Amino acid sequence: MAEYQLYCFAQSGNAYRAALMLNLIGADWEPIWVDFFAKGEPRTPEYRNDVNEMGEVPVLVHGKRKLSQSAVILTYLAERSGKFKPEGEDERLEALRWIIFDNQKVNGFLGPYRFLRTLARPPGDPAVLAFLKGRIDNNLAIVDKRLSSRPFVLGARPTIADLSLVAYLYYPAEEFGFDIPAQHKHIAVWLDRIKALPGWKHPYDLMPGHLLPGR
Ligand SMILES: N[C@@H](CCC(=O)N[C@@H](CS)C(=O)NCC(=O)O)C(=O)O
């Protein structure tokens, strides 16, 4: 058995943050596929009892530890590996600031938008989609401006703040109905920088369950 197990599925950008971090730090890890689409597995009592009371992926298993919330997982792995780790109080606070903004307002809106538009059956209400799209455009512009003056979110080197913010940003443009890198040029260059890191993989190559039957 690998040192780390990650409960995840290919379509989850929230889980991608953790999977990418594991790969970039060269961890010995394996995915445990969670059947979200056919079985709604995270919503089952078994999953909530045995895996995560919050009913979500990702969940990282390390020995007797089970950690959920990608921000917690990224922090744990950064502290253990010493990689992508914010250094000193100022960087730690700054990373936390961007990770919270990301969880709530960047990928926190982008994930549900893509889900309701492309994956949900039936698709989401157009008024809800329009609300989310307005917030997404605004918040991606904030990230783009931040990246206009530095190569990575905190500065010269990549940290867990970057690995949180990339969550949904490598998924195909047709899944969103708009092209994020084409519309945000600093985000585009930053995504290429992260893609160039040794160990980078696309979410569909890193986590199981892509191309589900009937989709
Ligand atoms: N803030 C959480 C978000 C996790 C999350 O929302 N995961 C989704 C999958 S992308 C989930 O498991 N949803 C279960 C459900 O909707 O029942 C994190 O960053 O880990």
Span 19-37, average pLDDT: 98
Quick check: CB of 107 below 6 Å from ligand 1? no
Is the link from the previous residue into 213 a cis peptide, with omega within 30 of 0?
no
For residue 123, give the DSSP letter: P
- pLDDT bin (cut points 50, 70, 90) of residue 212 is low
- Burial of 176-213, coded b for 16+ CB within 10 Å and e otherwise, reads beeebbeebebbbebbeebeeeeeeeebbebbebeeee
Q: What's the mean pLDDT when you consider all of the chain? A: 97
pLDDT of 192 strictly over 70: yes
Atom from ligand 1 closest to the CA of residue 58: 20
Please write the tens of the pLDDT for every residue from 92-143.
999 999 999 999 999 999 999 999 999 999 999 999 999 999 999 999 999 9
pLDDT of residue 214: 47
Atom from ligand 1 closest to the CA of residue 69: 20
Quick check: CB of 42 below 6 Å from ligand 1? yes
pLDDT of residue 211: 77
Q: How far is the CA of 18 from the centre of ligand 1 (A)?
A: 12
- Rg over CA atoms, the chain: 17
Span 53-59, average pLDDT: 98
Q: Residue 162: which of 20, 11, 43 has the closest Cα?
A: 20
| Strand, helix or coil for residue 30 | strand
Quick check: CB of 58 below 6 Å from ligand 1? yes
User: What is the model's pTM?
Assistant: 0.97
Instruction: Give phi and psi for 22, each to the nearest 5.
Output: -60, -45
Please write the tens of the pLDDT for every residue from 74-103.
999 999 999 999 999 999 999 999 999 999
